[in-house]
Amino acid sequence: MSTAPSQPRSEPARIIIVMGVSSSGKSTVGAALGRALHAPFLDGDKYHPEANVEKMRAGTPLTDEDRWPWLEALSAALKEAAAKKGVSVGACSALKKAYRDFITEQAGEPVLFVYLDGSREVIGERMAKRSHEYMPTSLLDSQFATLEVPDAATENVLAVPVTDSVDKIVRTVTGALDHLKTFKRWQ
């Protein structure tokens, strides 16, 4: 576990992680943001070891010990993708500040966390309408219990409401990424 401080929001970042609790729309927003930036999109769910998947499928919340190898694998992949393409986008719950600090430390550079902010009621309604391969609705309360809402004063975070459309969220995020406009890929 890292004790390194998070980067302040003013730090430009090539690695962008869309974060939030299950069913907040991380994968949908992350994929749309990747398309808008012409950047590789890495869905954090694909980096979970099989033991984590089986644990969640059984309705058992993950522990910190379960999450460290997953966060390390995802961080390495995001760093590699950003090195190759100049920018990368990932989807990862990143529920605790320690997880966000760890990801930033592993990246060795600033990481922008796009926090999909939504109430338990709104997220619960979304979760009830979808089918996830291994995340049962019974784990939503544990997600909210684990969530440490990012603090824009101390973390490199941009909070957006989950109730905004995907297009609006993408416009909000890309509008905040002036440093990436030099790539001329998404103007």
Q: Which of 15-29, 76-90, 134-148 has the lowest mean pLDDT?
A: 134-148
**pLDDT(31) > 50:** yes
Report pLDDT for 45. 87
Report pLDDT for 6. 41
CATH match of 20-177 with 3.40.50.300: yes
**pLDDT(53) > 90:** no
Report pLDDT for 3. 41
**Mean pLDDT calculated for residue range 49-63:** 85
pLDDT over 90 percentage in the chain: 59
Any idea what the Cα angle at residue 145 is, between residues 166 and 33, rounded to 5°? 20
User: What are the pLDDT digits (tens) for 71-130?
Assistant: 999 999 999 999 999 999 999 999 999 999 999 999 999 999 999 999 999 998 888 776
Report pLDDT for 5. 41
Report pLDDT for 18. 98
Place of tokens 């430390």: 105
Per-residue tokens: 156: 């490199």
Give, in order, the Cα–Cα distances in Å from 174 to each of 27, 32, 56, 92, 115.
Answer: 17, 11, 33, 19, 14
Report pLDDT for 139. 72
pTM of structure: 0.85
Report pLDDT for 178. 75
**pLDDT(1) > 50:** no
Half-sphere exposure of 25 (CA within 13 A, CB side): 23
Q: Which of 59-63, 85-89, 91-95, 134-138 has the lowest mean pLDDT?
A: 134-138
Place of tokens 């684990």: 146
Report pLDDT for 163. 95
